[in-house]
Structure 1
Amino acid sequence: MKKEQHYGLMTAITMIVGICIGSGIFFKADDILRMTGGSVLLGVLVLCIGAFSIIFGSISLTELSIRTDKSGGLVGYFEAFISPKMASAFGWFQTFLYFPTINVVVAWAAGIYTLIVLGLPNSLEWQVLIGVVYLLLIYGMNFISLRLGGYFQVISTYVKLVPLIGIAVIGFFWTKGHPELPADLTAVPLTNVGWGWLAALAPVAFSYDGWPISTSITNEIKNPKRTMPLALTIGPLIVLAVYVTYFLGMNKLLGSEYILAAGDQAVYAVGEWLLGPSGGTIITLFVIISVLGVTNGVTLGNLRMPQALASKGMIPQSEKIAKMDLKKQLSFASFRVSLICSLFWMVVHYLTQKTGILAGGDISEIAIVFGYMCYPILYVKIIQMKRQGEIKSLFKGLIAPVFGILGSLVIVVGGIVSNYTYVPIFIVICFLFCLAGYRYYEKNVQQK
C-alpha cells in the first residue's frame, strides 16, 4: 500500500538537522575536549572530519534516493542496488540495534539535563527513569498523530538553534575573561594526547549521526526525487556550521579547563555566567527541548522500520507487522516492536553505564561506528554506476563517494581506538544481527 505523502522539504531538512543537532553537541563537547587533551584546534579538526564524512556521504546517497521508491531508507537502497539479502541483513541491524540504541541514549541525555534543572541528585537510576518517561511520551505523541510528531520536529529544531546560535554569536564578540572554577569542581589539566585524539571521533560520530534516518520517510515526502537530494545536501552543511561556531563560542566563554571540569553541566554553567542565577535553568530548558527533538526524530524513523522490513518479508510475523492502519498510516505491530526494542536497549544501556565497561562511551557509539562500516558498500555501488554511465556527475558519482569512504574509515578507526577491548566485541554483536537477518531472508525465500 502506498503511503500518504504528508511531509515537505522543511520537515526533511529539520529532521536531519534536528536529529544531528540536539544531544551530541551538548553532552559530548566535553568528551571531545577531553580526548583531544583540551585542544580547541584539535576539537575543531575532529568536528570537521565528522562533517566531511556525512556531507560527502549524504551527497552521494542522493544519487540512490532519486532512483528508487523502495521503502525503508538505506534498507531500500541496499535492496534496490545491492541485494535483498543484504538489505535484510542491514535492516535487522538498523531495526533491532542502531535505531533503538541511539533513541535510548538520547532520551537518557534528556534525563540528565532534567535533573540538572530540577536540582536533584544526578544518579544513573534517576537519569534512566526520566529517560524512559520521555521515551514513552514521544512514542505516545507519534502514535496519536504522525503529523503531530512532524510539527514537533520542526518546532524543536528552531528552539534548539536559539542557545546554539546565541552562544556562538556572544562568544564571537566576547572580550572578558573566563569564570573562575567553583570550589566543588576538580581542575582537569591540559595534556598532549599525541595520536590519541583520534578517539574523539567516536563522540563526534555520535554528535553528527542521525542523517541517514531521514531517508526512512522518503516515501512520505512530497516530490521525493527533488526534495531528498536538497535535504541531504543542505541539512549536513547547516549542522557543520552550527557545531563549529557553538564549539568555539563555548570555549571562548568558559575556557577549555572549565568545560573539562564541568562536563555535562558546562551548558548550565554558561547560562549562569551570561544571564545570572536563573540563566542556567533557562538555557538548559532549551537544551531539554532540543534533546527531545532528537528523540522524536529518531522515533519517527524507528517506529517505521519493522513495518518496512515486514513489507519485504524480511522478519518473522511479516504479514501481521506489515498491516497498516488506514487512518493513522501506521502499523500498530511495528509500533510495538519498535517500542519493545527501545526499552530492552535502555536496560542494556543502564547495565553498561553502571559497570563502566565502555570507558565513558555508550552503546549507541558502537552501533554508529558499525553503521559507518556498512555505508561504503553503497558508496562503492555509486562509483560502479558512474563507471557504467548511469550516473553522469563526476562529483556525485566519483569524488563524493570516494571522500565518503575515506570519512567512514576514519570514523571506524577512531571508534576502535576509543576502546580497544569492548568496541570490537560489540561490533561482532552487530555483525551477528546482520548475519541473522541475512540467513532469515535466505531461508524465507527458499521456503517460498
Structure 2
Amino acid sequence: MKKHNKIRKQDVEWRSERGQNNRNDSHNYQTADDQEGKPLQHYGLITATTMIIGIVIGSGIFFKSDDILSYTGGNLWLSILVFCIGAFGIIFGSLSLTEFSIRTKKNGGVVGYFEDFISLKMSSGFGWFQNFVYFPTLVSVISWVAGIYTCLLFKMDNNLETQVAIGLFYMILFYSVNIFSVFIGGYFQNLSTFIKLIPLLGIAIISIFWTASAPELEEGIQLVSQFDVGFGWLAALAPIAFSFDGWVVATSITNEVKNPNKNMTIALVVGPMIVLGVYLMYFLGLNRILGAEYILSTGDDAVKKVGELLFGRYGESILLTFVLISVLGVINGVILGSLRMPYALASKRMLPYADKITRVNPRIQLSVWSCIISFVSSSVWMLIHYLVQKNNLLKGGDVSEISIIFSYLCYIILYVKVIKMRKDMIIHSTFKGIICPVFAIIGATIIFIGGTMSNTVNVLLFLTLCVVIFAAGVLYYKE
C-alpha cells in the first residue's frame, strides 16, 4: 500500500518485476514530461491527426473492397458494419497503447513497448515476428498487388505468374531505391501519399451525382449475384484489418506531440474516424456507380471500369495510374521500415551475428547485412505467397492478412498490461485504464475470430508458423 501511495503521489515512475539473467530485477519507467533527452515536442493536433490518416490510408482499400463485399455476400449494410468494427479496434487499441508511449523513452513502437513493459524476451519474440513475417509478407503481397494493377493498366496477360514476376521487379526496384537513394525514396513517399487520396475522394464525390444505371458485364464474365453468408460475414474482418493496418505506427510519435495526453487522445479518435469516413465514401461510391453484382463478378478489375465510366476512353488508364502510384507508395514505405528492422534488433542483441549486422556502411548510411536479411526474407515470402495463391490455400485471402491477425493477438498482451497498470494505480483514468483496453481486446478478438473463418485449418497452420517464429525469438534471447 505504501508503494502504491508513492506512485500516486509522484506519477512519474513505476516498477515492474521481470526475470533477467535468472534473477528478479526492476526497471524504472517515466512519463514523457520527466524524461531527459526526450524528443522535441514539435507536432500539434492537426499534424498528429494528418500523420495518422496518412499512415493508415494505404493500398488495401483499392484491392480489398471486392473481397469485403464478397465475404458479406454483396450486402452493403454488413460491409459497413465490418468497416466500423475495424475503426472500433483502431480507436480503442491506439488509445490503450498510447499509455505506453507517454511512459517510455524507447523508440520503435510496439517492440519498444514489449521491451519496457512486458519483458526483453517477449520484445525479442515480437521483433523476430515483425522482422521475419510481418514486414516481408506485407512487402511481398503489396508488390504482387502492384503487379496486378500494372497488368490491368498495360493490358498484359493478367495471370498469377505475370503478376508475381512484375511484383518481384517492383520489390527489387524499391529495395534499390531505398538503399542507394534516401532522397528519392522519401520524395516518392510524400508524392504517393497525396496521390492516393485523389481516386478515393474523387470517386466518392462523383458518385453523389451519379444517376446512370450499373454497367453490363462484358461477354465471358460470369454473373455473381448477392447471396446469404450467415455468420460468414465475419471473414471480411481479415481484409478490413489489412485495409486499416499501420495504425499502431502512429502511437510511436506520441513523445513528439505537444501536450500528448490531450492532443494524441483527440488525434487517435478523430484520425481513424476520418479514415473510416473516406473508406466508406469510396466503398459506397464504388457500389453506387457499378452495383454490387458487377463488383462481385469482376473483382479487382472493377476499379478500371469506374475510370472508363467517369473519364471516357482514357479514363481507365488515368484511374489505374493513380491507383498504381498509390500502391507503389505503400511498397516504398513498408520497405523503408523493413530495411532497418534487422539492424534495430541486432543493436539490442536480439539476432545472431549482431556485431556484423550493426555495422553501418558510411556511403549508404545503412547496414548492408540488415538490407540483405530484409530482402531475402521478403523474397522467401514472395515464393510462399505465390504457392498459397496458386493452390488457393487461404480461399481468396493472403499471407499478409494472417500476419496482421497475429499482430492483433500480440496486442492483447499489451492491452491486458494496461488494465494491470490501472489496477496498480499507475494509470488513474478508468476510461483509459479499463474501458479502452477492454474494448480493444474485444475488437482484437472479433478480428481474430473473423480472420480464421474463411479457412480455419490453413489459417491456423500459418498462425502456428507465426507462433514458432515468435517463440524462436524468445528462446534466442533467453539463451
**Whole-Å separation in 2 of the counterparts to 1:323 and 1:339:** 17
Q: Which residue of 1 aligns with 2:229?
A: 193
Deviation readout 1:10-59 (Å, 9 max, x if unpaired): 99766654453332111111111111111011111111111111121112
Give the drift of 1:171. 1.4
In structure 2, the CA distance between the partners of 1:347 and 1:192, relative to structure 1 (3 Å rule), is: same
Match of 1:26 among 45, 57, 62: 62
- Which entry has the higher C-alpha Rg, 1 or 2? 2
Query: Which of 66, 73, 83 is 2:119 aligned to?
Result: 83
Q: Once superposed, what is the RMSD of the aligned Cα atoms?
A: 2.6
Query: Which residue of 423, 428, 440 corresponds with 1:404?
Result: 440
Q: Identical aligned pairs, as a percentage?
A: 55
1:177 matched to 2:216? The reply is: no
Correspondence 1:229-244 to 2 at 5 A: 232-244=268-280
Uncovered stretches (5+) of structure 1, i.e. residues with no partner: 444-448
TM-score with structure 2 setting the length? 0.86
Code of the aligned partner of 2:378: S
State the AA in 1 paired with 2:397. Answer: G
- TM-score under structure 1 normalisation? 0.91
Indicate conservation of the 8 Å contact 2:98/2:251, yes or no.
no
AA aligned to 2:391 is: T
Task: Work out the CA distance in 1 between the residues paired with 2:40 and 2:221.
Answer: 52
Separation of aligned partners in 2, 1:265 and 1:384: 48
Which deviations, in whole Å up to 9, do the C-alpha atoms of 1:86-110 show, x marking residues without a partner? 1011111111001110111011101
1:307 to 1:3, Cα distance in 2 relative to 1, 3 A? farther
CA-to-aligned-CA distance 1:258-298 (integer Å, 9 cap, x gap):
11111001110111111112101100100001111211221
CA–CA distance in 2 between the matches of 1:14 and 1:126?
Answer: 36
Q: Deviations over 1:183-224 (max 9, x none)?
A: 2321101111111111111111111112224567x59x8569
Query: Paired residue for 1:38, among 62, 65, 74?
Result: 74
- Map of 1:129-208 to 2, 5 A cutoff? 129-208=165-244
Q: CA deviation at 1:251?
A: 0.6
When structure 1 is superposed on structure 2, of 292-301 and 230-239 the one drifting more is 230-239
Local SS of the residue matching 2:211: coil
Within the candidate set 332, 337, 340, 1:301 is matched to 337
Distance in 2 of aligned mates of 1:374 and 1:73: 13
Q: Which residue of 1 aligns with 2:420?
A: 384
- Taking a change above 3 Å as real, the CA distance of residues 224 and 353 of structure 1, as seen in their structure-2 partners, is farther
Alpha carbons 1:201, 1:415 under 8 Å: kept: yes
Q: Which residue is equivalent to 1:65?
A: 101
Say which structure, 1 or 2, has more relative contact order (CA 8 Å, 6+ apart): 1
Distance 1:147 1:5, change over 3 A: farther
CA contact under 8 A between 2:48 and 2:257: conserved in structure 1? no
Pick from 393, 397, 413 the counterpart of residue 357 of structure 1: 393
Residues 324 and 6 (structure 1), Cα distance of their counterparts in 2 relative to 1, 3 Å cut:
farther
Structure 1: how far apart are the matches of 2:257 and 2:412? 27
What count of residue pairs does the alignment treat as equivalent?
440
CA contact (8 A) 2:416 2:437 kept: yes
- Summarize deviations over 1:402-442 as a string: whole Å, max 9, x none: 11111000000001111112001111111000110010000
Greater mean alpha carbon deviation, residues 302-311 or residues 249-258: 302-311
Native 8 Å contact 1:19 1:211 kept in 2: yes
* Residue deviations 1:100-152 (CA, integer Å, cap 9, x gap): 10111011101100110000110111111111111122222222344543332
Cα distance in structure 2, aligned partners of 1:229 and 1:442: 36
CA contact (8 A) 1:72 1:215 kept: no
Residue deviations 1:50-93 (CA, integer Å, cap 9, x gap): 11111211122112112212233211100000000010111111
2:456 aligned counterpart, secondary structure: coil
34 and 117 in structure 1: CA distance in 2 versus 1, 3 angstrom threshold: same
